[in-house]
Amino acid sequence: MSLAPTLLAIALSVPQTNGGFTDGQLVLLDRALNGASSTSGGIAIIDPLSGAITKPYSFFGTSGNFDSICYDPYRGRILFNANPTSADPLLLLSGDAQGNYEVIGFPNKACSALAPVGDGRVYFRLNEAPFDTIRILDANNQVSLVTDGNGQPYIPPFGGAWSHLEYHVASNSLVHVNAVPNGSCGGPQDVTVRRIDLSPDGTQAVGDACVSFVVEPLSGKSTIGLTPLDPQSMLLTVNVPQPSPQPRFLRIQVEPLAISVYATPGFPFAATTRAGAHSRLRNQAVLYDTAGNALRAFSPGQSGEGYLVTPIDSLGTTGAFGQLADLIEVNTQATAVGVLTAEPQAIGVVTGGTVTLQVDAGPTAVGQLHIVVGSLSGVSPGISVGSTTVPLVPDTYFFLTLSAGSPLTNPIGFLDAQGKASSSLSVGPLSANFVGLVAQHAAVLLDPVTFAITGVTSPVAVPLIP
C-alpha cells in the first residue's frame, strides 16, 4: 500500500499560515500615516475593491528608503524596516495583519529592495559593508551574499543608485531598477532596468540584460515602485515632478527584457505621487496620491485622474504630502520552490519508455520530504492549499500516481544534501489513442516533522508522442 495518499492527505489538512492577510490586499507603508513627520509613520491594509482600511501599525520611525516592505508568502507575514518605539533601533521586522511583530535583526541598518522568492529566501539590500551588494535572507534568517563568477560579492552596475528588486519565477532572475536615471545602459535621463540571471540555487549572478526608457526628458524623475504584474511582466511606477499626464506606469517584460507604457496618469498634485502597485483583484495599477491621501486606480492605456479606490483624506495626514511611501500587494500564493525536470522530455507510445524526473529545490530544502504527483488534465486552476497552489488538476491519473499501482518509481523520499531527488515515470507500449496526451508532474515539498506543505516545484510536461 502506498504511503503517498496518506502523507498528502495529512499535508492538505495542515493549516497553512498567511498571518491574517487576505490574498489581493494592498499594504501601504507611509512615513506620514500617523503624523506629519517624514520619519515616523505606520502601515495601512486596504481592500482594493471596497476601499476598507485598517491601520494596525504605528511607528516611532522608518528607514526613509523606498522598497522597504514586502509580503513573504513563505512566512505568511510582511517584512518591513522600522523603529517600533522610541526605545528601539531601526530593525527589520516580521509582522502579521493584526499589528503583532517579531524582530529579524540588523539593528540600526537600513534594509531595502526586499524581494521574496516564496521558499523562505528574500533578496534584499543592507546598508552595511560590502555596500551596494545583494544579500539573501534564508528561511532561518541567516544571511549570505549573491556572488559573481569569481566568487566575489556581486555588485550591480548601477552601484549605489539602485533601489528596487523583484524576483521573477519563470526566468529565475532578479528585476533590478535604478532609483534615478544614471545612463547605465541608456541616456543619462533614462529609466533603467536590469534583469540579473541567477544560478539554479539562486546564489550566483550568472548573466544580465539591460534596457532603458525615456519617461520625460526635461525633468527629474525617480522610480517609486516595482511589483509583479503577470507571470511575464512587472509594473514599474515612476515619479515625474509634473502634474500633466505622464507615463507614470511602465510595463516591464522580463524575458526578453523590454519596457512599454502601461498608463499615463495626470491630475492636480500628481507630482506628489510616491508609491504604486498592481492590483490583481482590480486588474489595474494603483497610485498613492499623497496630496489627496487616497489611492487611485488606472487601467492599461488610461490617463487622467483614474478611479478613487479610497476616499480623499482617508490615508495619510492632511498637510503632509510628497513623503516617502511603499505600496505592495499581498500574494498568498507561494511561488514555485525549485524545479522538476524530465529527461528524456517525451515518451513514445509505440515502444514505451522511462523518463527520469529530477527534483531540484536548492540547498534551503535539504532534508524535506517530497511527493511527486501527476495529472493528464493540465496545471490550472490547480489545488489551492492556504498559501500554496499545487499546479495540477486532480483526475484519474493524479490519484493513480498516489496509489500502489503508480507508474512512478520512488515518488516519495527525502531531498539530499543539495536539495535534490530523483524519481522516474515508466510507461509500457500503449494504444495510439494516447498520442497527444500530456502528463504533467510536480513535486510537493513537506516539512518532515509537521507535514505542512513548504512549497511546490514548477510543473514539468511529458508529452506522449507516436
pLDDT (tens digit, 0 to 9) for every residue of the chain, 466 residues total? 455 566 566 555 555 556 788 878 999 998 877 644 445 788 999 999 889 999 999 888 887 778 899 999 888 899 999 998 889 999 999 999 999 999 999 999 999 999 998 878 999 999 999 998 999 999 889 999 999 989 999 998 866 677 789 998 778 899 988 866 655 676 666 788 999 999 988 899 999 898 888 877 656 678 889 999 877 789 999 988 888 888 999 999 998 899 999 999 998 888 877 899 999 888 899 999 888 889 999 999 999 999 999 988 888 665 566 678 899 999 876 555 677 888 888 888 889 899 999 998 877 688 889 999 999 988 767 787 765 678 788 899 998 998 888 899 999 999 998 889 999 999 888 888 888 888 999 999 888 887 878 788 878 888 888 8
What is the separation of C-alpha 370 from the centre of its chain, rounded to a whole number of angstroms? Answer: 23
CA torsion sign for 227, 122, 257, 335 is negative
Q: Do both 72 and 108 map to the same domain?
A: yes
Do 398 and 270 fall within a single domain? Answer: no
Are 72 and 104 part of one and the same domain? yes
Residue range(s) defining the domain that contains residue 103? 26-329
pLDDT at 264: 93
Residues 6+ positions from 380 with CB-CB distance below 8 Å: 391, 393
Q: In a 10 Å sphere around its CB, with 0-12 CB exposed, 13-18 middle and 19+ buried, how is residue 149 labelled?
A: exposed
Q: Domain for residue 67, yes or no?
A: yes
Which domain-ending residue is among 314, 329, 344? 329
| 11 and 32 together in one domain | no
Integer angstrom CA distances of residue 165 from 112, 123, 345: 9, 8, 33
Q: Does 229 lie in the same domain as 347?
A: no
- Same domain for 380 and 267: no
Note whether 303 and 345 are same-domain residues.
no
Residues 399 and 322 in one domain: no
Split into its structural domains, the chain has a count of 2
Enter the C-alpha cell of residue 356: 527520469
State residue 290 phi and psi, 5-degree precision. Answer: -75, -20
* 268 shares a domain with 141: yes
- 96, amino acid identity: D
CA–CA dist 373, 377 (Å, integer):
13
Burial (0-12, 13-18, 19+ Cβ within 10 Å), 112: buried
Among 53, 131, 43, residue whose Cα is nearest residue 93: 43
Tell how many helices (H) and how many strands (E) occur in the chain: 2, 38
Q: CB of 283 within 8 A of CB of 223?
A: no
Neighbours of 261 (CB within 10 A): 15
C-alpha cell at 243: 502634474
- Residue 275 and residue 174 share a domain: yes
The CATH number of whichever domain residue 358 belongs to comes to: 2.60.40.10
Where is the domain boundary, 297, 329, 361? 329
Adjacency order of strands within the sheet including 303-304: 222-230, 233-239, 249-253, 258-265, 303-304
- The predicted structure's pLDDT at residue 10: 57
Burial class (CB in 10 A: 0-12, 13-18, 19+), 293: buried
Q: Is the pTM of this model over 0.85?
A: no
- HSE at residue 190, side-chain half, CA atoms within 13 A, is 15
Bridge pairing between strands 233-239 and 61-62: unpaired
Cell of 199: 544560478
Residue 395 and residue 247 share a domain: no
Whether 21 is in a domain gets the answer: no
